Copies of this chain bind each other. A is one copy, B any other.
Amino acid sequence: MIAAPKFPPFNPPRRILMGPGPSDVYPEVLAAQSKPTVGHLDPLFVGMMDELKALIQYAFQTENEVTVAVSAPGSAGMETCFVNLVEPGDKVVVCRNGVFGERMRQNVERCGGEVVMVDNEWGEPVDLAEVEVALHANPDAKFLAFVHAETSTGALSDAKGLCALARAHNCLTIVDAVTSLGGVELRVDEWGIDAIYSGSQKCLSCVPGLSPVSFSPAAVEKIKARKTPVQSWFLDQTLVMGYWSGDGKRSYHHTAPVNALYALHESLRLLANEGLENAWARHREMHELLKAGLEKLGLEFVVEEASRLPQLNAVYIPNGVDDGAVRKQLLEQYNLEIGAGLGALAGKAWRIGLMGFGARRENIALCLRALEDVLN
């Protein structure tokens, strides 16, 4: 026998999470998650799932029938959209202005799709004029895929405008809303988004591990018309729909992550109680406070004001400042986590998150004072 390792229970410290996610989790959400586990086919659990679907629909502002939480993190939500929709040979226009547009490209390629890239600088929003050129040059394109809120840079793109362009060119849209959902305006039905995915651990302030997704009727039609099976068994929506369908008869697909779904239900319930528009306004207001303080410290934003995300503030690391040492000091002395740069911004920027429960005045005060102390 290989001997049993002996470890004490893990006791994590209480951090203040102001990175790119996970964000500070609502205490109510942690409490909901630790309620007794019930079976995933228990009638009372199934009732909770019906409520959860309505809550996800509200957060997305959609009446899409196919609206579920994927039992895995946002990256799996992204993959769910691509593997269900994109068949081998399908042409997809992918907008890339950060890490997650690049990940979309990799998803399309792994589905056997043909990619047309529209590139913008890191920190810039997706350029509608360039997208229009690409759509015009590729009349056989079936999808336009873009990131609403680029977590790697803090840039917000014009989802409404991009969806209108896609529609004019007969393309379905696949939209990454991992960081946008709950933090900035997002209207799936009104804007005509066809497939969208998000994550639990950003502006919903839920524990990480789940990915709300939604498909429009047109997207569902495309899935149903597939000539090839979905390459992923686990993410195959034609199978998952049987469990989430509202017809009262839930058929077993996989064992649902019961307790994590309690948590998501509670976080979305808190969002519904606050009201989406109030949540959007709060993120904006808190951002203004943080921005004023960061500018006072002489820190410069990566993203121009017009397309800056309130919930993800990327600022350049001042010359001569040791990135790792500062973040280590914030973590060890203040229990404060801010995010490192990612991809092209690694070592060049910090990402300060104001997401969900994290977007409150006391966090901003702590962050500004701690940064001031550490930088001086």
Give the B-binding residues of A (Cβ under 8 A).
1-7, 9-15, 17, 19, 21-22, 24-25, 28, 30-45, 48, 51, 54-55, 57-58, 61-63, 71-76, 78-79, 83, 103, 106-107, 109-111, 189, 199, 201, 207-209, 229-234, 252-260, 262-263, 265-266, 269, 272-273, 275-277, 331, 337, 340, 342
Q: When the two chains form their complex, are residues B15 and A207 in contact, meaning their CB atoms are under 8 A apart?
A: no
Q: When the two chains form their complex, are residues B262 and A12 in contact, meaning their CB atoms are under 8 A apart?
A: yes
Q: When the two chains form their complex, are residues A232 and B2 in contact, meaning their CB atoms are under 8 A apart?
A: no
A76 shortest CB reach to chain B, Å: 5
Q: A22 with B10: in contact, given A231-B231, A275-B4 (CB under 8 Å)?
A: no
Centre residue among A25, A75, A259 by max chain B CB count within 10 A: A259
* Chain B contacts for A32, CB-based, 8 A: 9-10
* Chain B contacts for A51, CB-based, 8 A: 5, 7, 10
Q: When the two chains form their complex, are residues B233 and A10 in contact, meaning their CB atoms are under 8 A apart?
A: no
A200 shortest CB reach to chain B, Å: 9
Q: A37 with B337: in contact, given A42-B331, A110-B233 (CB under 8 Å)?
A: no
Contact of A2 among B44, B61, B110, B111 (CB under 8 A): B61
User: In the bound complex, how far is the Cα of B127 from the Cα of A350, in angstroms?
Assistant: 59
Number of copies: 2
User: In the bound complex, how far is the Cα of B197 from the Cα of A234, in angstroms?
Assistant: 14
Contact of A36 among B12, B72, B256, B265 (CB under 8 A): B12
User: In the bound complex, how far is the Cα of B22 from the Cα of A24, in angstroms?
Assistant: 28
Q: When the two chains form their complex, are residues A4 and B276 in contact, meaning their CB atoms are under 8 A apart?
A: yes
Q: A75 with B233: in contact, given A10-B266, A58-B2, A63-B2 (CB under 8 Å)?
A: yes
Q: When the two chains form their complex, are residues B260 and A260 in contact, meaning their CB atoms are under 8 A apart?
A: yes
* Chain B contacts for A43, CB-based, 8 A: 331
A267 shortest CB reach to chain B, Å: 11
Q: When the two chains form their complex, are residues B257 and A73 in contact, meaning their CB atoms are under 8 A apart?
A: yes
List, sorted by A's number, 23 A–B pairs whose CB atoms are closer than 8 Å.
A1-B277, A4-B272, A9-B266, A12-B48, A14-B36, A15-B38, A19-B39, A22-B258, A25-B37, A30-B37, A33-B33, A42-B331, A71-B72, A71-B209, A72-B72, A73-B234, A75-B234, A76-B254, A111-B231, A199-B255, A201-B255, A208-B258, A257-B260
